[in-house]
């Protein structure tokens, strides 16, 4: 006996158009192809935005840091000295950039893998290239003998002291010699090899070697200067006693 096929309902004239399948749902009730495409699009957009934020944040950070940092320190960073001559650089800054109360004083200490002679050559060449010029100060530069090489420089409204010397562990103390600063105890790697570099930058108006005081020479001023009393007799004599 042959089976009978189920009857197919005949669409009437008033039944309306065929329903459109919903792509947002699959047969199991989960997200369909349309919703899946939308989710992938939003994930891609979020990934692109996050990448732009990361890539833009780093240049912005370094740009703000450079803009707010002392321009003199930026110029020291730009000196064309090899990496072996500027290891472990440390900066110390005090005073005001606008000379409010105290003018700005900058000091950089670094270590070099080469000796004082080789290190001094590369630093002097870099300073010349950056527009600094050797300055024979009216007072001695420095005012007392020190080990190594000590030179003075000027550029625009700034003065610069460059001191390159052996590490303190390699220096032989001498009678009557006092370095203008205390150098680190050793060179790079904690050894007595290499050299130590100090760079000090001042505003010229705050540098005593630039200031010119009034002359006390009678032949130039036409009159003798006021005497300076070093011993005050009132401090030496005992207080008067009453009889």
The structural domains of the chain, with segments of one domain joined by +, span 31-68, 71-173+181-206
Is the pLDDT at 67 greater than 70, yes or no? Answer: no
Nearest-5° Cα angle at 176, 172 to 179: 65
Mean pLDDT (the chain) is 73
Lowest mean pLDDT among 54-58, 154-158, 194-198: 54-58
Q: What is the mean pLDDT of residues 28-39?
A: 68
């Amino acid at each position: 006996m042959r089976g009978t096929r189920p009857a197919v309902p005949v669409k009437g004239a008033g039944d309306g158009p065929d329903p459109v399948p919903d792509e947002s749902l699959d047969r199991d009730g989960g997200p369909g192809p349309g919703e899946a495409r939308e989710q992938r699009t939003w994930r891609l957009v979020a990934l692109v935005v996050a990448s732009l934020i990361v890539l833009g944040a780093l240049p912005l950070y370094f740009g703000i840091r450079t803009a707010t940092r002392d321009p003199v320190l930026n110029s020291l960073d730009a000196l064309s000295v090899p990496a072996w001559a500027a290891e472990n650089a440390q900066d110390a800054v005090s005073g005001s950039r606008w000379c409010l109360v105290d003018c700005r004083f900058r000091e950089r200490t670094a270590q070099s893998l080469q000796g004082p002679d080789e290190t001094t050559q590369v630093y002097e060449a870099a300073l010349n290239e950056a527009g600094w010029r050797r300055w024979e100060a009216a007072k001695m530069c420095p005012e007392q003998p020190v080990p190594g090489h000590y030179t003075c420089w000027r550029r625009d409204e700034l003065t610069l002291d460059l001191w390159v010397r052996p590490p303190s562990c390699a220096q032989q103390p001498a009678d009557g010699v006092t370095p203008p600063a205390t150098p680190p105890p050793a060179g790079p790697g904690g050894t007595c090899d290499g050299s130590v570099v100090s760079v000090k930058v001042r505003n010229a108006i705050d540098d005593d070697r630039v200031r010119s005081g009034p002359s006390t020479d009678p032949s130039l001023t036409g009159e003798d200067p006021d005497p300076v009393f070093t011993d005050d007799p009132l401090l030496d004599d005992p207080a008067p006693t009453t009889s």
